[in-house]
Structure 1
Amino acid sequence: MIRSIALFALAGLVSFPVVAEETGPPWSMADAYHDADEMAAVRKAMLMHHGAMRQVSVMADRLELQSSDAGDALVWDGNGWYGGDVDKLWLKSEGTYSLETDAVEDAEVQALWSHAISPYFDLQGGIRYDLEPKGRTHAVLGLQGLAPYWFEVDAAAFLSSEGDLTARIETEYEVRLTQRLILQPRVEAEFAAQDIPDLETGSGLTSLDAGLRLRYEFVREFAPYIGVEWQGSFGGTADYLEAAGEETDRTAFVAGVRTWF
């Protein structure tokens, strides 16, 4: 009893430092013992090494030659981004250059701001500009990420400066046959909410591309591939092609390279 009374008396005489204010965040507790500016620099460095750092990535997902009954064409589909885990600036571009007509058939570029809305999906918004055809500008709202069972999904809706509403969805899946040999099924579908006579596009499902690509990763950043792809048009879009004497579906053999850094 005498020992307990002595301890309480000593506690009343000795003042202890306040560890942290109740209103401060948990990581500010060390400020009671160390210089606040030094601790702020330490916290910033720690965050940079645990998810807050800025990174950059550039990828040519498809850089390929397509050969079909309609002729040969060069196709590109690439993107690049800069940012962190939550927010990124994305640049995307894709298009087709016909070797038969020696001209660009279609080409577009997108500038998008991307914000993570879950561990697996980003919400994206920005603008798209069509270099060919017609040079239209679109507002873009999309969703990109990794669906259950490891399906990569990129879906977007486009509202053009002419008031036309269209949409596109792409999905890919990677089957690892070995550590370096990968089989990649890929499907891309495009839709239109209305007829667009200027672009010879009908409403509904306008086109569907479904293909298989087999690539070999000599290194992770460089992988040549070969494959086959079926390309079809539907509805009013198919009617426009038939009226022009063109095919509404075809099979193309592809050879290309996938690279990134």
Structure 2
Amino acid sequence: MARLFPVLTSLLLATSPLAVQAQETGSTLPQADEHAGMDHGSMDHSQMDMSGMDMSAPDMKGMDHSAHAMPAGTVSDEPGDALPPPVPTDFPAERFFAADRMAASRAAMLKEMKFNTFALQVDQLEFRTGKSGDGFGWEGQAWYGGDIDRIVLASEGEGTFGERAERIELGAYWRHALDPWFNLQLGMRQDFRPDPQRTYALIGIEGLAPYWFELQGQLLVSNKGDIHARGKAGYTQRITQSLVLEPEVEVDFAFQDVPTLNVGAGFERLELGARLRYERNRSLAPYVGVNWERKLGGTANLARASGEGVSGVSAVFGVRAMF
């Protein structure tokens, strides 16, 4: 077989188109061994003279010369200043259906997207136990309306069993969506406890901040002229599909002393809590947690002077409900 290989190679070279062309022009082809031994890497193709080549020849027309084209200039990575395309004002469906029928269809679709409904949400309804005794706490709201405007009734409070409640608040306000993330609050709040009762004008904002923090801030002006502020922040951390951890913080601030309410100017009260909720059924989810509350500044001094405690920590057991 080793002896037949040179013979077959010679026959193939002799019958190839290049060999036929060489016979017609009288030139000779290099031998296979000589061609294999040539060093093509050392050849300088840049000195080849292509001026005499006919680029219009049939064999040249089929060649793709785009790979050899040099760029016309340096490519710039700076953005252009071309104007944006105009906003389309037509509706593709009107190419096939009457314009008045499509306008009526769009109006009906927008009407279906507007809704009014009623909901009741109890965020906290809990039993608290600690060194200072057993107590209770609640926080929730009911609202009627849609996704843009709602009428809201909100209430929260706390107390100790066997004694009068320390705090009972009932707020009523109009909630208006400012954007997809934040809502405006305008209304009033009635404090039934502590005594004496107070009625406040309320303006606030609530919403979802970046990284999914739930924020709320309210400014309150009472019928006696004293001004207060409240801020809340919370975060919902889903551990599993059923376990949810919800830490939160609440702080109250007074702009002046209110001796009748045992409130001093500055920060009044700080409350921290964390609740672990089992949310197998989101309409009724039990939870356990811890709650810590402390009076601050002048309010703490007034509490000490009246023989009251200024801080306390308690374990909480409660339920969260939505209807």
Distance apart, 1:97 and its partner CA:
3.4
Structure 1 gap segments, 5+ residues each = 1-24
Q: Distance in 2 between matches of 1:128 and 1:44?
A: 39
Q: Distance in 1 between matches of 2:141 and 2:130?
A: 26
Question: Which residue of the partner structure matches residue 80 of structure 1?
Answer: 142
Letter of the 2:109 partner, please give it. M
Q: Distance in 2 between matches of 1:164 and 1:33?
A: 58
Give matches, 1:25-36, under 5 Å: 33-34=100-101
Identity over aligned pairs, percent: 42
Question: Which residue of the partner structure matches residue 274 of structure 2?
Answer: 212
Instruction: State the secondary structure of the residue aligned to 1:149.
Output: helix
Pairing 1:120–2:176 present: no
Please give the TM-score of this superposition, normalised by the length of structure 2. 0.67
Q: 1:209 to 1:33 in 2, by over 3 A?
A: closer
Q: 1:253 to 1:46 in 2, by over 3 A?
A: same
1:84-111 deviation digits (Å, cap 9, x = unpaired): 221111110111232032x222211111
Distance apart, 1:135 and its partner CA:
2.0
Instruction: State the secondary structure of the residue aligned to 1:104.
Output: coil
Question: Which residue of the partner structure matches residue 50 of structure 2?
Answer: none
Pairing 1:131–2:227 present: no
Pairing 1:47–2:110 present: yes
Point out the structure with max Rg over C-alpha: 2
Pairing 1:236–2:298 present: yes
Give matches, 1:61-72, under 5 Å: 61-72=123-134
Give matches, 1:109-188, under 5 Å: 109-133=170-194, 134-188=196-250
Instruction: State the secondary structure of the residue aligned to 1:218.
Output: coil
Letter of the 1:54 partner, please give it. N
Q: Which has the higher helix share?
A: 2
Distance apart, 1:67 and its partner CA:
1.3
Q: Distance in 2 between matches of 1:35 and 1:92?
A: 43
Q: Distance in 2 between matches of 1:31 and 1:105?
A: 66
The answer to whether the Cα contact below 8 Å between 1:65 and 1:73 also exists between their aligned partners in 2 is yes
Distance apart, 1:203 and its partner CA:
0.8
Give matches, 1:185-196, under 5 Å: 185-196=247-258
Instruction: State the secondary structure of the residue aligned to 1:242.
Output: helix
Structure 2 gap segments, 5+ residues each = 1-88
Q: Which has the higher strand share?
A: 1
Give matches, 1:94-105, under 5 Å: 94-101=156-163, 103-105=164-166
Please give the TM-score of this superposition, normalised by the length of structure 1. 0.82
Distance apart, 1:125 and its partner CA:
0.6
Instruction: Give the structure, 1 or 2, with the largest relative contact order (CA under 8 Å, sep 6 or more).
Output: 1
Letter of the 1:131 partner, please give it. F
* Matched residue count: 230
Q: Distance in 2 between matches of 1:31 and 1:96?
A: 63
Match of 1:197 among 246, 250, 259: 259
1:189-222 deviation digits (Å, cap 9, x = unpaired): 0000001100000111111011111110121111
Q: 1:148 to 1:32 in 2, by over 3 A?
A: closer
Q: Distance in 1 between matches of 2:192 and 2:168?
A: 5
Letter of the 1:114 partner, please give it. R
Question: Which residue of the partner structure matches residue 222 of structure 1?
Answer: 284
Q: Distance in 2 between matches of 1:108 and 1:114?
A: 18
The answer to whether the Cα contact below 8 Å between 1:71 and 1:100 also exists between their aligned partners in 2 is no
Name which of structure 1's ranges 247-256 and 139-148 shifts more when overlaid on structure 2.
247-256
Letter of the 1:112 partner, please give it. Y
Distance apart, 1:43 and its partner CA:
4.4
Letter of the 1:166 partner, please give it. H
Distance apart, 1:116 and its partner CA:
1.0
